[in-house]
Amino acid sequence: MPGSGALRLPSRTLVVAAAAVPLALAVLADDVRVRRQLHTARRDPLTGLPGRDILVERTARFAHTRRERLHVLVADVDGLKAVNDSLGHAAGDALIAAIGRRLSAWAADRGGLAARLGGDEFGVALLLPPADAVREVLALRELLAQPVHHDGQPLRDIEGRILRPAVSIGIARASDLPDAADASRILRGADTAMYQVKTGQQPLGYVATRQDAYAPAVHGRRPGRPGTHLPAA
């Protein structure tokens, strides 16, 4: 007949295993909580959009799998400073938040991703048929130009007219750039294209060239950005 110690061994094993279950669940819950916190931390608090790093990751993934359809857009809100100065920063925040929501919904409907790059600039990575890209961007600009509501009323300029946001948009088509152009280089092409549209050098719908994607940087930023005239620190 087996000894009493042998009879107690399975019970001890069950007790130890039962005690380990809550600990394992606690560790799992803590891991989920940390992941959620990191996910939240990587999003812009005003718009809820991810930042540049997430956009670059998505662009790199698309460039690897569907390069022939990959388009990257950079959008810059025109006249934000005037809104802040005349209507207040709360109105400016409402404008940025509205543009972010519209861009995010537009991109998601096309299987893409929108991100806030900082200040009044946004980026989008999505897959489009090359023949449709310019038409889509022209329609997007009209969508973004719809009135924005703040405190239950549409934003108005200092003369009382309903404000219709203007947004400059640059396009980079990955298939137009060398295969060696990585996600950051494609994004730079869209950024340079946006700046040329914003300054009137090119019309809306302008698509970045190889020269735009490989434009020299000043202190790591596109020439023409505020601060690029200053000496490097």
What residues are annotated to the active site?
120
- Tokens 């380990």 identify what position? 20
Residues 163, 67 contacting (CB under 8 angstroms): no
Find the helix or strand (DSSP H, E) in which 115 lies.
strand 113-118
| CB 112 within 8 Å of CB 125 | yes
Please state, in angstroms and rounded to a whole number, the distance separating the CA atoms of residues 7 and 146. 77
Burial class (CB in 10 A: 0-12, 13-18, 19+), 75: buried
Residue type, 88: G
Q: Which two tokens stand for residue 29?
A: 């819950």
